[in-house]
Amino acid sequence: MTAAASMASKVISVGTSLISIPLTFHYLGPERFGMWMTINSFVALLSFTDLGMGNGVLSLIARAHGKDNKAEIVECISSALVALIGLSAALAVLFALLYPAYDWARLFNVRSPVAAAEAGPSIVVLICCLLAAGPVSVVQRVQMGLQQGFAASVWQCIGSFFSLLGVLLVVYGQGGLPWLVAAFAGAPVIAGILNNVVFFTISEPGLQPNRSAVSSRFAREIVKKGFYFFLIQLLMALSYSTTNLVIAQVLGPEAVAEYAVPDKLFAIVSMSVAMVTAPLWPAYSEAVSRGDREWVAATVRRAASGSIFFSAAGSLLLVVLGPWIIRHWVGSAAVPTVALLASFALWKVVEAGGNVLSSFLNGLHIFHIQLYVAIPTAIATLLLKIYFVGAIGLPGALAASIISYCLFTAVPLTVLVHRILSRWEVAAYSK
């Protein structure tokens, strides 16, 4: 059910991009569109504003659900909401103090008066939406931990629909870039608020957060697990979500469009794989809590082979059809080279295999090793990206990601997962 609902969510999300990108490309022009795409990438870059506590909540909820401990679930929810509300308030004050000290137009390397004037207000709107999303998104983590990811996906569908509707209204109403950001980043927050109301009043009223259930023990555990996730997310964001920013600085904002359009197209592959691998994380955690390691081991192997095969097939198809699709989608100005499309295809295969490994390790609450490998991966990716983009152009950004990830993350994590599964097999055979 979660996979099916996730598929619907991804289809709607991709459909939103397919409709909104050509509209905004022609409406904003190359420079402002490049800024718009860079701001979109900041949504992923700034997703760590909850300091990873959302993912910490997911892990703890899945573990408590595996033990059928309802009181522990309520404690976790209540403690997480208090912590995230306090964190968002503190970050809002910090941003308010730092905002006047920076020239935000320089961040996007834009020169036109209109783009320069819109840079700062667009960032303000984005930050406000992201800080509000932290406490609101707790319910989605709870749903995933309870094996109700299908409900979270349904509300994501609603949020994507709101986003598309908002973008259409802004474009046809001749609104500026800050309004586009508000429509794109604010709509999911509205859908999340509605999800909270329905979940805690209709679906699971027994899990309503309350002040008496706030636990310092759970708060510390959420912060501890969240800290690992925060650092991993931060390093991953520095590795991959800064690509548009690097391109804008090295090649200019107009080059961002040439990269961002096929990036959105190949996101279809990533999202299709994620709709299966993402629900496996809490499923692994619950299964391990119940002692069902055989199911976990078998599922990991099937997920790895299936994800890699699907990514390879889907990416190859996009390499062949990509130029034709993009030409009819946004026009000939943004048609990428074959080398760029092939680089995207190879990266998506590597990414798919890595996601399977991370999902398994997250389910086993093995976070520290992922952090250790993420540090050299992030450093190497960013340095190689700056060098390769300047030396060979846009494909260099993907070459940097592939080389760094394979060397510093994929190989060591594959060895670790293989050892864990082998140890489980020996233990099962001994019994």
> Given this model, what pLDDT does residue 49 score?
62
430 CB-contact burial (10 Å; exposed 0-12 / middle 13-18 / buried 19+): exposed
Residue 143 has pLDDT above 80, yes or no: yes
Q: Give the range among 93-97, 106-110, 190-194 with minimum mean pLDDT.
A: 106-110
Q: Classify residue 93 as left (phi > 0), alpha (psi -120 to 50) or beta.
A: alpha
Residue 355 has pLDDT above 60, yes or no: yes
Sign of the torsion angle spanned by Cα atoms 104, 110, 116, 119: negative
- Specify the length of the chain in residues: 431
Stretch 355-366: mean pLDDT: 89
228 compared with 299, residue with greater pLDDT: 299
Q: Grade residue 234 by pLDDT with cuts at 50, 70 and 90.
A: confident
Q: What is the mean pLDDT of the chain?
A: 85
Helix (H, G, I), strand (E, B) or coil at 119: helix
9-63 residue pLDDT tens: 777 777 777 777 777 877 787 778 888 877 777 765 555 566 677 778 888 888 8
Task: Give residue 218's identity as a one-letter amino acid code.
Answer: F
> Given this model, what pLDDT does residue 7 score?
75
Angstrom CA distances, 198 to 61, 370, 419, stand at 19, 35, 43
Residue 236 has pLDDT above 60, yes or no: yes
Residue 223 has pLDDT above 90, yes or no: no
Nearest to 248 by CA among 41, 133, 108, 51: 108
pTM of the model: 0.70
> Given this model, what pLDDT does residue 380 score?
94
Q: How far is the C-alpha of 143 from the C-alpha of 140, rounded, in Å?
A: 5
98-137 residue pLDDT tens: 888 888 877 777 778 888 888 888 888 888 888 888 888 8
Asked if residue 336 lies in contact with residue 261, where contact means CB atoms within 8 angstroms, the answer is yes
Q: Grade residue 405 by pLDDT with cuts at 50, 70 and 90.
A: very high
Nearest to 346 by CA among 323, 315, 382, 373: 315
